A and B are shown apart, each in its own frame.
Chain A
Amino acid sequence: MSDRVAVVGVGAVPPRPLSVDRSYRELGFESATRAYGDAGVTHQDIESFISVCEDFHEGTSITDEYTPDQLGAVLQPVHTIAGDGLQGVAAAVMLIRTGIADLVAVEAHCKTSNILTHEQVLAMALDPTYERALRVTPHFVAGMEMRRYLHETGSSEDAVAMVVVKNRRHALGNPVAAYGGILSPDDVLASAAVCEPLRELEISPNSDGAVVLVLASEEAARRTPKPVWIRGVGWASGTPWLAGRSWGQASYAGVAAEMAYRMAGITQPDREIRFAEIDDTYAYKELQHLEAAQLAPRADVTRMVMEGETRRGGRLPVNPSGGSLGMGYCFDATALYRTAEAVRQIRGEAGRAQVAQATTGLVVSWRGIPTQSGGAMVLSAD
């Protein structure tokens, strides 16, 4: 039996700040319909289903119980990963590699516009005894991370602003991206301080969305039109202690990327990875993640970004889709949006956003503040 696993179907709805016209079920149904159609399979062909969701984000306990209908998964094996999207993908890889299923669907959706008290939900993620009691907005975690990152690496705030400029510009080439725009670094640097040094334009806007991916064993993938191979996948979590974590570095992403590279047999990531779809929930995160994934040496990140090497036409295009800064941040669904966009690149279906020779791509995900959890995945055309 082959150990290879492929993404064979991708379906998503365009992320938008509001989605009042449809329920999460209806968004999920559209995404699943698209994904199954893309893979050339029906819901009856899928043997197992994974839902990536968090109760607090949905306002419903056991919220995964509400996903089988829109996936065509009634009375089928379904389970939940309440974590990062790539952890959900990794679970699907395991189901396939253990021989339990040949075709697995992974679902994630986001109705962040339905949460009226976002800060309360976010506050619930902080330790109740030590951290929540201080009653500071949890965005401070990002502000402190950004400061320590800039302090340790010498990366410049201009480079952080350039990430925003680049991703918003990339989004203009992506017809489903909501936040395309032409900005200058000065526009970004002139935006209001939220949790200094973090500025308003450096935070990706919250968006609603839904994504479904179909994964397949090699045998099943050979029967589908457009398989993209998962060569390696990894994930890791750091310590939950805010007071004692590595503030400057995305250590979790480093461990996750190493795990994925080892599985993929990649020894020189900066040469073998041709493009990346990397978590940019906050603009500095893209830089942190680039370094953690060994795609940019610490001393070089600022130069690379400022000289345009991470633009669509550059040596290592990063977030050619526009990333979360250009498409919107979809909480639990973010990693699956990054994956879907990477799959489109490798298939050569990215249209105006297409990167030349996008044969091997890296996806890096982050579970969001206040976590130190994330994943990495190497996708390849063969």
Chain B
Amino acid sequence: MARTRAKPATARAPAPPYVPLRGHPLNEEEFRGQVGSTTWVPRLEYAWDAGVAISRFLDGLREGKIYGVRCRRCGRTVTPPRAFCELDFKPMDEWIELRDTGTINTFSICYVTWDMKPLRVPQIPAVIEIDGTSPRVGFLHLVGGVRGRTVTEIRRQVRVGLPVRAVWKPPAKREGAITDILHFEPVRKRANR
């Protein structure tokens, strides 16, 4: 194929003058009025049965305890608990009360809310490997007790491998939910694992 040689810049004809954008931004009312559409606001409500494993886990949270389960075949201890080992496909063998400390596996510093509104003080979701569980089985929660709001400030305090500890709601306010733990905060002194 023949190669086209770029003409030197000096030989190019002058660019056409800018033209204003056509149209104008539609506001909500104009949009509704001018474009055919139908609206429907669903009211969908569910109440999911937590089942054997998660129910006991939630009861534990109410008491300020984190429960895990152990499979003797693969030797893994995992939390949140499940009734069966998803790798060995057999019922779990025993319940174990875990400590409420752990290590950050991964995290992100989020400057938007779950429904995509900007946040000045970011949320820090993290996967936390609870002490006493097997490696790479985590617990999704938030990191709190961190000063500052910029990436630089937060990265100085939060890192992969950081030891953290659960900060609980006061007992009277717990309701048997994952939010009975407010967040996990950095600990200075690392507990032995």
One of A26, A42, A74 near B86 (C-beta < 8 A): A74
List chain A positions with a Cβ less than 8 A from chain B: 19-26, 29, 32-33, 42-43, 56, 59, 68-70, 72, 74, 111, 113-117, 120-121, 124, 128-129, 132-133
One of B46, B52, B87 near A26 (C-beta < 8 A): B52
The chain A residue with its CB closest to the CB of B90 is A33
A137 to chain B, nearest CB (A): 15
Residues of the B chain whose Cβ atoms lie less than 8 Å from the Cβ of A19: 49
Q: Is the CB of B84 within 8 A of A117?
A: no
Q: Is the CB of B44 within 8 A of A120?
A: yes
One of B50, B52, B82 near A69 (C-beta < 8 A): B82
For the complex, give the distance between the alpha carbons of A19 and B45 in Å.
18
Q: Is the CB of B86 within 8 A of A72?
A: yes
Q: Is the CB of B40 within 8 A of A26?
A: no
Q: Is the CB of A25 within 8 A of B47?
A: no
Q: Decide if the interface of chain B is mainly helix, strand, loop or mixed.
A: loop
Residues of the B chain whose Cβ atoms lie less than 8 Å from the Cβ of A25: 51, 82-83
Q: Is the CB of A72 within 8 A of B89?
A: yes
Sampled A-B contacts (28; CB under 8 Å):
A19-B49, A21-B49, A22-B83, A23-B48, A23-B49, A23-B51, A23-B52, A24-B51, A25-B82, A29-B84, A43-B89, A56-B44, A59-B46, A69-B82, A70-B84, A72-B89, A113-B49, A114-B47, A114-B48, A117-B43, A117-B45, A120-B45, A124-B40, A124-B42, A128-B38, A128-B40, A129-B38, A133-B38
For the complex, give the distance between the alpha carbons of A59 and B48 in Å.
9
B118 to chain A, nearest CB (A): 24
* B167 CB-CB contact with A under 8 Å: no
A73 to chain B, nearest CB (A): 9
* B154 CB-CB contact with A under 8 Å: no
For the complex, give the distance between the alpha carbons of A372 and B40 in Å.
24
B46 to chain A, nearest CB (A): 4
- The A/B interface has a contact count, at CB < 8 Å, of 76
Residues of the A chain whose Cβ atoms lie less than 8 Å from the Cβ of B83: 22-23, 25-26, 29
The chain A residue with its CB closest to the CB of B87 is A74
Return the 5 tightest CB-CB contacts between A and B, nearest first: A23-B51, A59-B46, A72-B89, A69-B86, A116-B45
Q: Is the CB of B42 within 8 A of A120?
A: yes
For the complex, give the distance between the alpha carbons of A321 and B42 in Å.
37
Interface residues of B in 37-90 (CB under 8 A from A): 38, 40, 42-54, 82-84, 86-87, 89
Residues of the A chain whose Cβ atoms lie less than 8 Å from the Cβ of B82: 25, 69
Q: Is the CB of B46 within 8 A of A116?
A: yes
Task: Tell whether A22 pairs with B44 under 8 Å between CB atoms, given A72-B86, A129-B38.
Answer: no
Task: Tell whether A26 pairs with B44 under 8 Å between CB atoms, given A43-B89, A128-B38, A133-B38.
Answer: no
For the complex, give the distance between the alpha carbons of A171 and B86 in Å.
35
Residues of the A chain whose Cβ atoms lie less than 8 Å from the Cβ of B46: 59, 114-116
Interface residues of B in 8-45 (CB under 8 A from A): 38, 40, 42-45
B86 to chain A, nearest CB (A): 4
Residues of the A chain whose Cβ atoms lie less than 8 Å from the Cβ of B52: 21-23, 26
Residues of the A chain whose Cβ atoms lie less than 8 Å from the Cβ of B43: 117, 120
Most chain-A CB neighbours within 10 Å: which of B54, B86, B87?
Answer: B86
Interface residues of B in 86-103 (CB under 8 A from A): 86-87, 89
For the complex, give the distance between the alpha carbons of A288 and B13 in Å.
76
Q: Is the CB of A111 within 8 A of B48?
A: yes
For the complex, give the distance between the alpha carbons of A124 and B52 in Å.
32
Residues of the B chain whose Cβ atoms lie less than 8 Å from the Cβ of A115: 45-46
Task: Tell whether A26 pairs with B47 under 8 Å between CB atoms, given A120-B42, A128-B40, A133-B38.
Answer: no
For the complex, give the distance between the alpha carbons of A136 and B14 in Å.
65
For the complex, give the distance between the alpha carbons of A22 and B54 in Å.
10
Q: Is the CB of B47 within 8 A of A116?
A: yes
Residues of the B chain whose Cβ atoms lie less than 8 Å from the Cβ of A72: 86, 89
Residues of the B chain whose Cβ atoms lie less than 8 Å from the Cβ of A43: 89
Q: Is the CB of A20 within 8 A of B49?
A: yes
For the complex, give the distance between the alpha carbons of A302 and B50 in Å.
46
For the complex, give the distance between the alpha carbons of A138 and B145 in Å.
51
Residues of the B chain whose Cβ atoms lie less than 8 Å from the Cβ of A120: 42-45
For the complex, give the distance between the alpha carbons of A236 and B47 in Å.
34
